[in-house]
Structure 1
Amino acid sequence: MATHDIHELKLLFSLFDVDHDGHISQDEIKRLVQVVSGHPWTEEQLAAFMQLTDTDTSGDISMEEFTVMMNQYVPTSTLGLRDLFNTFDLSGDGYVDKQEFEKVTKEKGDELNQDQIDIFNKIFQQDENSKVTYEQLRLLFALFDVDNSGTLTKDELKQLLQSPDPDGPTVSEEQVNDYLKLADTDNSGDISVDEFIAFINDNVPQGAYGLKSIFRTIDTSGDGFVEKDEFEQVKNKNKSLNQTLVTIFEKKFQQDASSKVTYEQFVEGVNEYYNNLNKQ
């Protein structure tokens, strides 16, 4: 039996509980299936689903019924917020930019509910250029500033540019030097956090480097979780893996008895690491 993250289930439930009455009606269920799968259910499919899920025969689905149904019958990689996100992420790069959102809204506007549209509109209002946020880049910078000097050296920049995947492409000295020239605008020989943020936003395609990109590389199964065995395999194959990264994952595995780390837990670990640096 699958065990979905309860926070993700609550968010998914509330997103499709359009009238916010604490239940998902049959019309709301049809809309949910249409958006996620791209195919509408027949009345027979809907009736079979209701018979399976609506255990109190009230005619709609409560949060408790929804949770039981998801955990008993739906794999963790299916029909969740990740699938909903992927509906908008047309390029599959792990980001929804404004152009993608507007295209999906135009093509599938009748299938989307207003809550979904409002969530994305709010994000784009906060980030007009649809670029990686300062917070994301600050955490990424801290992760690779191994000596905690407040700047990235040439060696630290090389480690950032090199994929954690041991089978991924290697970065040459020439490439590192080219990136350093672009980023080091004050010619100090290393990169400050402000130089780093300006460089990434101005020169690097969105999704190429970031916490999500690092997580996806280590998540070799692509199921949205990094299991302990999965991480050990990557660590054993890549002996030069960032030690801060190793420490963050190992700490999370000690805290989580199931030995699975989600992307959110990984970001939480990077945040904890950054906050501890500031206390020193």
Structure 2
Amino acid sequence: MSADEPTKPSPSLYTPNIDEIKKVFTRFDTNNDGKISASELIHVMKSLGSQTPDQQQLTQTMKTIDTDSDGYINLEEFTRFCIGNEQHEEDDDGGIKELHEAFEMYDLNKNGLISATELHQILTRLGERCTVDDCVKMIKSVDSDGDGCVNFEEFKKMMASNGEGAS
């Protein structure tokens, strides 16, 4: 996958498009070396609402995202993680564990649903400029049961369709 390939922007629960992912990546790459280190990842996890992660959480997160195992998260790895690209997953569960972890990052009140308010809080922490109304629209686009929230099944379907380039 080259950086020159065209990418079709598509709304997701992470960020609306590749340019937004790059902005988020740059924000967390605090020393501007083009990669996120384990120490920078701590700040990412804290900004996403986690308490200071313990060494095991940090190691597991690095292992999940750092697919080339060089000890750093580069833009390609970060992008792949954000858009839910599962073609590089090595787990025998087809990446469900990672999807569930991503879902749980947004489910701030741990009720099994991502509300527009929760989505807004996370995107704001990531430096995105969006309104709660924008988040309501994002959720509406994937909310198949009409409850105004995204459950894990809807999240999985959305991530699968993003991976296929479907709308």
Could you tell me the TM-score, scaled by structure 1's length?
0.31
For CA contacts below 8 A with separation 6 or more, give which structure has more relative contact order: 2
**Higher Cα Rg, which structure:** 1
Could you tell me the TM-score, scaled by structure 2's length?
0.48
